[in-house]
Amino acid sequence: MQATDLMDTTTSENEEEGREQLPERVPTHVAIIMDGNGRWAKQRGLPRLAGHRAGTENLREILRACVEFGIRILTIYAFSTENWGRPEAEVKGLMNILKDVIDRELAELHAEGVQLRHIGDLSRIDPELQRKVLDAIELTKNNNRLILNVAFNYGGRAEIVHAIREIVRNGHKPEEIDEALVSHYMYTGDLPDPDLIVRTSGELRLSNFLIWQGAYAEYYFAPVYWPDFNKEELRKAIIHYSQRERRFGLVK
């Protein structure tokens, strides 16, 4: 037997093992509140932005794991409408991170079949960055391995207000307005609601994230800061999800 044969055998055994560890029921749409970057940095005596940068690194591992686990849509909360109230340097830093992620990662994301989308209000963002985001969306619009929805300048209440304005602007009559129509006017109008919403860092809050779409989601609160949330942590979240019984308000 040659060394290369041995390597091949080892690889396929590992893959087999990885598959065995996969949960049976995998959520189609996972949404994540990536919390705890600041505390992660503080623990290490680093500036808060170092925590946000570290929180970009593990994102790559999480995207790979999503594809491996069979998750089709990942929505991440990268910048909330409330985050404008943070110190100017941190806000600027988060804008730069978005720019750098697009500059550095877009080609690979595209090659890997990731469809990039944005939810939220882009109009308050620097026009050059807006352009970058819109170009990235255009470039990747036909990819279908994983939809990555980036919530940036996003707020759940602002999204509902936006939807109401659009409904009124389009002249819908009161009797036409039902839950399906409101869902259609949400930023995620053509996507299924999240099945699983994860928040890292141990905080038990929704913080204005997908408050319409999350009505029947399962929630999982991971006891680690976002930069430490890796493939194994995602696996744990999915195992918890797969063990829950979703009833959607019905009886068993």
**The one segment of 90-98, 136-144, 167-175, 210-218 that binds ligand FPP by CB under 6 A:** 90-98
Q: Tell me, yes or no, if 170 is annotated catalytic.
A: no
User: Which of 32, 34, 114, 147 lies at the binding interface for ligand FPP (CB under 6 A)?
Assistant: 34
Residues 6+ apart with CB under 8 A from 35: 199, 200, 201, 203, 207, 225, 226
Is there binding between residue 37 and ligand FPP (CB under 6 A)? yes
Amino acid at 206: L
Give the integer Cα–Cα distance in Å for 117 and 150: 6
Please check whether residue 167 is in contact with residue 181, taking contact to mean a CB–CB distance below 8 angstroms.
yes
| Shortest distance, position 33 Cβ to ligand FPP, whole Å | 8
Q: Among 29, 31, 38, 74, which residue sits at the site for ligand FPP (rule: CB under 6 A)?
A: 38
* 153 given a catalytic annotation: no
Q: How far apart are CA 36 and CA 102, in angstroms?
A: 23
The yes or no reply on residue 78 touching ligand FPP (CB under 6 A) is yes
Of 5, 8, 37, 83, catalytic: 83
Q: Of the residues 5, 8, 14, 35, which is catalytic?
A: 35
Residues 6+ away with beta carbon under 8 Å from 179: none
Residues 14/17/18/23 CA torsion (nearest 10 deg): 180
Judged by CB under 6 A, does residue 55 bind ligand FPP?
A: yes
Binding mask 225-244 for ligand FPP (x = CB under 6 A): -x------------------
**Could you say which of 27, 36, 120, 155 contacts ligand FPP (CB under 6 A)?**
36
Residue 101 as a binder of ligand FPP (CB under 6 A): the answer is yes
Strand partners, 220: 198
Q: Where are the alpha helices (DSSP H) in the chain?
A: 3-20, 37-43, 48-69, 88-111, 127-140, 156-169, 179-185, 231-243
**Which of residues 22, 60, 61, 83 is near ligand FPP by CB under 6 A?**
83
Nearest residue to ligand FPP on Cβ basis: 38
Contacts for 126 with CB less than 8 Å, ≥ 6 apart: 95
Residues making contact with ligand FPP (CB under 6 A) = 34-39, 52, 55-56, 59, 78, 83, 94, 97-98, 101, 150, 226
Active site residues: 35, 83
